[in-house]
Structure 1
Amino acid sequence: MLVPDKPTFINTVLGPLTVEELGPTAVHESLLSVYPGAQYAPEISLDRSEIFHILQKQLTDFYDVGGRTIVDASGMFHGRDLPLLENLAKSTKVNIIASTGLGPEEMLGGYFLTPQTDPPTPWPAKKFEDLFSKEITEGMVVPRVERRAPAGLIATLSTRSGMTATDESLLRGAARAAVSTGVALSHTFGDDVLQEIDIILNEGLSPDRLVIRGGERHGAPIIEAAHRGVFIGLEGDCHEALSLLIDADLHSRIILSAGATGVAKGHAPTSAYFSDFMKLCEGLDDALRTHITIENPRTLLAVR
């Protein structure tokens, strides 16, 4: 069992850390993001040395502006490279937490559907639960080679236009894996955040083990969602949503990220940088900044 028993620990790619060692933490970033299948395209280069040095510089910049921990929320098949993340963590002062997880359906591929039926039926939630749980309890898979460090987060996404049957099965399995392993769930909602929160919580997950990403979207019912006890993930151009939650005295429900992609292959990168994370807190007093960037991530990410 790789996951520590004590709730004061967080899983990183180099092993467990105490919550006191996290410091300011960006909970939803992507260091290397590879669109599934892009690694096989002849015109796309995956020069590991070049990628390493680009990311090393970006992580150093992140540290220099006060960041201390980054959660790579790429999940299982979007470029997660554990040896790369381990070497980056060793060569910089930044703690790196990697994630398991999948979604949405359009990004899964036929392996996660049952092709003998028409239309194909989704994997049952139990299979997704087992897949994610093993990445936490036995270590994350380096394809066809070995398992390494345990995942520190489960990251899922629903189809933006509306949750599909496969999305729901995956989401239920992820929630069950979060319950059984004590690792938190980070979910990017589709078109009905409150319905998706209900699905997750009905699987028995405590609200403070869930962060809903996409809270910066215009019109998202983030106040109602926050009152259910879940964390609201904000990134990018999120100052309006950030102010809304703070004014409603819901700062204890906020999780911030820059929403940056360090290196993108097969798709366009975001315009954000990891170092933008600390800029989101400009204008906040020290106590509020500490609560949002340090205390909230500690509560979310502690294995319990």
Structure 2
Amino acid sequence: MNSTTVNTVLGPVPTDELGVVSVHEALLSVLPGAEHAFDITLDRAEVFETLAGRLRDFRAHGGGTLVDSTGMFHGRDVRLYEALSRATGVHIVASTGQGPEELLGGYFLTPQTNPPTPWPAEKFADLFGREITEGMVVPRVERRAPAGLVTTAVTRTGMTATDESLLRGAARAALTTGTALSFRYGDDAAAELGVVLDEELPADRVAVGGLDREDAVADGAPAKVAERGAHVLLDHVGTEDDEHVTDAERAALVAGLVRAGHADRILLSVGATGVAKGHPANDLPYSHVLTAFVPLLKAHGVGDGDVRRILGANPAALLAVR
């Protein structure tokens, strides 16, 4: 496979056919265990219609490709995503990976060793890597298309030993398969990025998420990440709460990064949840970046060329298999 294709659920797609890419969204997001709860329903036809409507809205406003960045065990349904992509015309990139530690199943925390120890990085690397080289697992049934992204997350209060194994394993899987790594930072974006780069994964193959949190912006983390050559992922566009900056502040942040020469390192996403089970949904439309945020960027002096780069060329370069 050459460097101009991206792994989607329907197979490789040339990067120049991706269009506008939303790089950090959720389609069906199920809190592990919720699928077994008495008060949770999972009607596949209903889920399909809801997600299809959201994807058609995204496409109607100019969207081309959506990345489901939920990883392995949070409701990922590859066959559902294949059907959605065929029905809506939106390219869907699914991801492999797990994390942070608090959301891992017990099997991945305490394998059968004496005494029980966290999984080492090489086991996570093998688990994630096989989902790319052999296809994503449909539990107890088969493997389907290859994952197009490795994703993980660090515990918000700080990186644990298991988080570090996840980060290193994810970086190794990305490096050996030619895919990219996206991770949501915990409490020190620069240090956590350093762990990934220590595995010799090139910085331009890494996206650091969560960088539109108030504490990240206050710490100057977006500029620090960009200066090291990694992608700055502002993944909660549209969310305005006590934890995140406002869209106006996000637009000013993007404009500042562009002026500093980092236009090729900026990624945007809503972090929306199409269908959530067992946890609250982010109900913003996937199209929010296009309908509401792009006008703000232009009002802050970001030109059309840089907007196109941020929405299309940057995510395409990140997701390209190489």
The one-letter amino acid paired with 1:59 is L
The alpha-carbon deviation at position 215 of structure 1 amounts to: 1.0
The one-letter amino acid paired with 1:281 is V
Taking only aligned residues, the RMSD between alpha carbons, in angstroms, comes to 1.4
Q: Distance in 1 between matches of 2:272 and 2:109?
A: 31
The one-letter amino acid paired with 1:47 is D
Q: Please tell me whether the aligned partners of residues 274 and 283 of structure 2 are also in contact (alpha carbons under 8 angstroms).
A: no
SS in structure 1 at match of 2:54? helix
Asked whether 1:245 is paired with 2:254, we answer no
Which region of structure 1 is more displaced relative to structure 2, 280-289 or 14-23?
280-289
The one-letter amino acid paired with 1:137 is T
Aligned residues: 300
SS in structure 2 at match of 1:233? strand
TM-score (ref. length: structure 1): 0.96
Q: Distance in 2 between matches of 1:290 and 1:99?
A: 24
Q: Distance in 1 between matches of 2:104 and 2:278?
A: 16
Q: Please tell me whether the aligned partners of residues 234 and 242 of structure 1 are also in contact (alpha carbons under 8 angstroms).
A: no
Report the equivalent of 2:317: 299
Asked whether 1:263 is paired with 2:259, we answer no
Structure 1 residues without counterparts, runs of 5 or longer = none
The one-letter amino acid paired with 1:65 is H
The one-letter amino acid paired with 1:97 is V
SS in structure 2 at match of 1:204? coil
Q: Distance in 2 between matches of 1:257 and 1:7?
A: 24
TM-score (ref. length: structure 2): 0.90
1:110-189 map, 5 Å = 110-114=106-110, 120-189=116-185
The alpha-carbon deviation at position 273 of structure 1 amounts to: 1.4
The one-letter amino acid paired with 1:222 is P
The alpha-carbon deviation at position 118 of structure 1 amounts to: 8.8
The alpha-carbon deviation at position 246 of structure 1 amounts to: 2.1
Closer, same or farther in 2 for the Cα pair 1:96/1:169, shift >3 Å?
same
Report the equivalent of 2:55: 59
Q: Among the aligned pairs, what percent are the same residue?
A: 55
Report the equivalent of 1:289: 307
SS in structure 2 at match of 1:168? helix
Report the equivalent of 2:223: 223
Q: Distance in 2 between matches of 1:244 and 1:162?
A: 28
SS in structure 2 at match of 1:122? coil
Q: Distance in 2 between matches of 1:172 and 1:45?
A: 36
The one-letter amino acid paired with 1:143 is P
Q: Please tell me whether the aligned partners of residues 111 and 118 of structure 2 are also in contact (alpha carbons under 8 angstroms).
A: no
Q: Distance in 1 between matches of 2:107 and 2:262?
A: 41
